Structure 1
């Protein structure tokens, strides 16, 4: 007889899970704290039915941060390969406005397309204080230099 899962996940509000492989990657570790927050905020809106609508104003309010920093954080996630712009925003006072929409590259896309994991394809090298983490992910001490 199969055991039922008794983990205390929130069934009413849902759960956001992220790949350990992604969270340990040099690409993720090299992100600013605000970019790491934005990844989770955007994933909260993900569905397999279409792109994620998330704008600069929403990022400003939810991170919270300035407009300049919000724009920088979106750029950081694009450059690192975690998000890709699907559709630009549109503001028109006479008609309906729409927010930018994004594809989260670590998650499956609509129409059953698998994740592209663009973040794995980027060349990164991050520096974290006395340690430098090369692309392979192994730690090398810089204290002797």
Structure 2
């Protein structure tokens, strides 16, 4: 006898975003601010295996919503924690086509069939500020 297929009720029209439990339970993820966690998930929504994620400070400001300073801090947190790596810097030119920064999400496969690097696992994470020795 054949085994039954396990059909999960995922949304087929809009797609799904799946994230690893070990990432969600990691000290790196738990140490992020709420805005950085929101940004991580927003960037994940735009991820495809064919190209880096184009997401800038303006998009973060509008999507989270937050101030420009908070959005910039959230990007810095994700970068320092090893969740994102800058692929290409932004360019603003009023005469030509402008482009946003592009990022590689380190917990996901990258374009050109490269496996995830999981840099967030290799970054040393300090204990919570209230647990540090004076």
Report which of the two has the higher share of strand: 1
Give runs of aligned pairs for residues 23-34 of structure 1, distance below 5 A. Answer: 23-34=24-35
Aligned to 2:15: 14
User: Secondary structure of 1:81's match?
Assistant: coil
How far does the alpha carbon of each residue in 1:84-109 deviate from its partner, in whole angstroms, 9 at most, with x for none?
Answer: 00000011111111000000000001
Aligned to 1:55: 56
Aligned to 1:138: none
Give runs of aligned pairs for residues 1-145 of structure 1, distance below 5 A. Answer: 1-127=2-128
Cα pair 1:29 1:126 within 8 Å, conserved: no
TM-score by length of 1: 0.86
Aligned to 1:140: none
Number of aligned residue pairs? 131
User: Secondary structure of 1:38's match?
Assistant: helix
User: Secondary structure of 1:93's match?
Assistant: coil
TM-score by length of 2: 0.93
Distance 1:11 1:126 in 2: 40
Computed over aligned residues only, the root mean square deviation of the Cα atoms, in angstroms, reads: 1.5
Offset at 1:128? 8.2
In the alignment, structure 2 segments of 5+ residues that lack a partner are none
